[in-house]
A and B are shown apart, each in its own frame.
Chain A
Amino acid sequence: MLKQCEGSHAVAEAVAMCRPEVICAYPISPQTHIVEGIGEMVKSGELKNCEFINVESEFAAMSVAIGASAGGARSYTATASQGLLFMVEAVYNASGLGLPIVMTVANRAIGAPINIWNDHSDSLSQRDCGWIQLFAETNQEALDLHIQAFKLAEELSLPVMVCMDGFILTHAYERVDMPTQEQVDAYLPPYEPRQVLDPAEPVSIGAMVGPEAFMEVRYLAHAKQMQALERIPQLAEEFKVCFGRDSGGLTHTYMTDDAETIIIAMGSVLGTIKDTVDVMREAGHKIGVLGITSYRPFPLAAVREALKNCKRFVVLEKSLAVGIGGIVATDVRMAVTGMGLKGYTVVAGLGGRAITMKSLTAMLEKAGRDELDLVTFLDLDWKVVNKQLAREKEVRRSGPAAEAMLRDIGAVAARNY
């Protein structure tokens, strides 16, 4: 059924149709509307047979989900930014124990400085935590990925993060095609746990593992992610059969066949990028787009395949590996090892900085001439940065940096980028 609604609301409805049994809620923008939505459905009786627990922290949220999942219940939670970091120890624990929890991450920057706007620093900080990470491009895909996520998680007994851009997706009102409960039931079977705490069949879960087996247990986690590489495209196919839509998969390509330059990105910015490419193609620039949906496991082969005919690639990412440059770019470089391609890293959109067609066009033109720096910070205000660097050189007690830079910029008016 077509419906105009907020992204968070679409996800809340989709999660509810997955018949979750335990939901842990803790507020943090821009995720909050999702758990609020589900909470209301539980309270009103619309979503039956579901325990909705208002926990006291994100660490507790993930821990309650761990207990619930180990008790055989389908478990879900959502978070973002500081919340994701607050639960990190339990995030690793959930994947280490092999518990198929599904969590939405409404991507948001990490402080300090505190910032509520969108970038991918939060979930990318957890790239090695053992969870599968799927990135949605649109609200429709966010909705669809949640349904696929439960199936994937439970088949592999591995937790899945569905990442969607905070505010840009979570708070955007868009048209979505809402599936029916029957469709979801046909696609997603009830949760059949691989391990469960049951007095009829007592097991111990979570024992200490020493050097004699730790490597093997960890390798198994890797092996499962390799299985996910095969399962994710199949699940997208099965999804298409049930729901009649393309959603999910490992990657999406756009005009890559004859492209000399391919720009690679994740999440909602792909929309702006494709619009930019459409315009630039008309002007004769042979540019294509590769969207990465499955960030973990990382689809090395699919990326390699998509880039096989191009001359250069640009990874545009909303994240920064401080001290080296790109996070996603590092993985892409690994994928194209030996292919002799020119590669550029563009760090963009940190903390909600708008990524405009104008800036993208200029950057891509430069890339096309191979004049782009290896690592570029899109639309960085060098004046402000240089002024602060100079101040720190001059004065020992230069004071808090972020505050000084805000003062230099002056009134925080909405800026035109």
Chain B
Amino acid sequence: MSELQTVSFYQTGTFTVGNRLLKQEERSVQANMQRTNSLNSGHRACQGCGEALGARYAIDAAMNASNRQLIAANATGCLEVFSTPYPETSWQIPWIHSLFGNAAAVATGLAAAMKVKGKSDVRVVAQGGDGGTTDIGFGCLSGMFERNDDVLYICYDNEAYMNTGVQRSSATPGAARTATTMPVGERPGNSFGQGKFLPAIAMAHEIPYVATATVADLRDLEAKVVRAMSFRGARYIHILVPCPLGWGSASNDTIRLARLAKETGLFPVFEAEYGEIKSALAIRRPLPVEDYLRPQKRFAHLFGKNLAVDTIARIQAKADKNIRKYGLLAKEAV
């Protein structure tokens, strides 16, 4: 699990956070001294929390793109709890938390208020975890999409209800251990349902913009937020954010796991406009899903005394299907 990671040095052409070798306009918002630290340091997230990282990247980019005219509505969940241990708050932007399942609707109300108050320059984002988005907040989210309300909704997907102690959500992958899908019995871990890939459901609403991203690709994530902010109407970004606590992974593996999720094809990274896919991040050399599964304790039962060959094959098939469906293979130079 803790085999050494190879470290590559900065070079021109890589888009690492602080790469000073890049041209000014190619540098990330995070690399800029003027970044807003919208989600400021001092919050109570676990070490290596992908959600904290994702929120900071996304909201800073949205702040930058909106000329700092941004309001956020937040669903209940880790992000909400760890960011506002009052009297401290990490939010440097106007921020409201109402309920677990209504962030999209609260944002709709905010956007309506901004419109009616003649403050159309003020943009509204809503954010929530996968539980708050794909389960309990799904109705409000779909309503917001269907009406094409002027809201950017960001889902931080750590594939379970983390804040309440790692229970299964409809975004939890098959075979994963959670507190409500324990690795016991004949079929250990989460059952393989039909899946509920929210970006595809968002696309079915034909809203102006839908994208997926991971915390491993900062530049890509920022670019997608900027692109999303260039539209009016309903927009959706789904960010994969590894959770060391819930996944049973090392806190210094967060970025690596996010990258592996993409490089195996398990998490397709793409963007779509008005229901049509516009681009996908290519996988240069697809990696076997095992590389992604092994470092996570939530899949440890697959690698016990008897390798769970069938289950791993099933997960591999899912990755292969994603690669086909979203055209993720890089075109080989002939």
Contacts and interface: CB of A to CB of B under 8 A. Distances in A.
Interface of A: 21-22, 24, 49-51, 53-57, 59-60, 63-73, 75, 89-90, 93, 97, 197-199, 201-209
Contact of B109 (A50, A65, A205, A209): A65
A199 B93 contact: yes
A67 B110 contact: yes
B66 to A, nearest CB: 9
20 contacts: A22-B113, A24-B109, A51-B113, A51-B116, A55-B105, A59-B140, A60-B108, A63-B106, A64-B105, A67-B107, A67-B108, A70-B110, A70-B113, A71-B110, A71-B113, A93-B98, A203-B95, A208-B81, A208-B84, A208-B86
A21 B68 contact: no
Nearest to B118: A49
A56 B146 contact: yes
A90 B98 CA distance: 8
Interface in B88-131: 89, 91-99, 101-102, 105-117, 122
B128 to A, nearest CB: 13
Contacts of B94: 197-199, 201-204
A68 B91 contact: no
Nearest to A201: B94
B105 to A, nearest CB: 3
A293 to B, nearest CB: 30
A72 to B, nearest CB: 6
Contacts of B140: 56-57, 59-60, 63
B142 interface: yes
Nearest to A57: B139
Nearest to B87: A207
B150 to A, nearest CB: 11
Given A64-B108, A204-B96, 14 more contacts: A51-B112, A51-B115, A59-B101, A60-B105, A63-B102, A68-B113, A69-B113, A70-B109, A73-B117, A93-B99, A204-B97, A207-B85, A207-B86, A207-B97
A209 B86 contact: yes
B165 interface: no
A292 B199 CA distance: 52
B109 A57 contact: no
Contacts of B122: 199
A197 B117 contact: no
B35 to A, nearest CB: 16
B284 interface: no
A411 to B, nearest CB: 40
Contacts of A209: 86
Contact of B93 (A49, A64, A202): A202
Nearest to B151: A67
B139 A72 contact: no
Contacts of B114: 71
Chain A to chain B: the 10 pairs with minimum beta-carbon distance, closest first: A67-B109, A71-B113, A56-B143, A63-B105, A206-B97, A63-B102, A68-B109, A67-B106, A73-B113, A197-B94
Nearest to A195: B96
B73 interface: yes
Contacts of A202: 91-95
B181 interface: no
B139 A60 contact: yes
B155 interface: no
B243 interface: no
Contacts of A204: 84, 86, 89, 91, 94-97
A72 B117 contact: yes
A197 B112 contact: no
A130 to B, nearest CB: 14
A70 B96 contact: yes
Contacts of A90: 98-99, 102
Given A59-B101, A204-B89, A209-B86, A66 B106 contact: yes
Contacts of B139: 56-57, 59-60
B70 interface: yes
Contacts of B97: 204-207
Nearest to B146: A56
Contacts of A24: 109
A71 B124 CA distance: 10
B147 interface: yes
B311 interface: no
Nearest to A199: B69
A63 B110 contact: no
Given A199-B122, A208-B86, A67 B73 contact: yes
A199 B66 CA distance: 11
A204 B89 CA distance: 7
A53 B114 CA distance: 14
A206 B96 contact: yes
Nearest to A56: B143
Contacts of B108: 53, 55, 60, 63-64, 67
A207 to B, nearest CB: 4
Contacts of B107: 67
Nearest to B95: A204
A71 to B, nearest CB: 3
B160 interface: no
A75 B109 contact: yes
Contacts of A22: 109, 112-113, 116
A64 B86 contact: no
B105 A73 contact: no
Contacts of B98: 63, 66-67, 90, 93, 97, 206
A25 to B, nearest CB: 12
B71 interface: yes
Contacts of B95: 197, 202-205
- Interface hub of A71, A89, A203 (most chain B Cβ within 10 A): A71
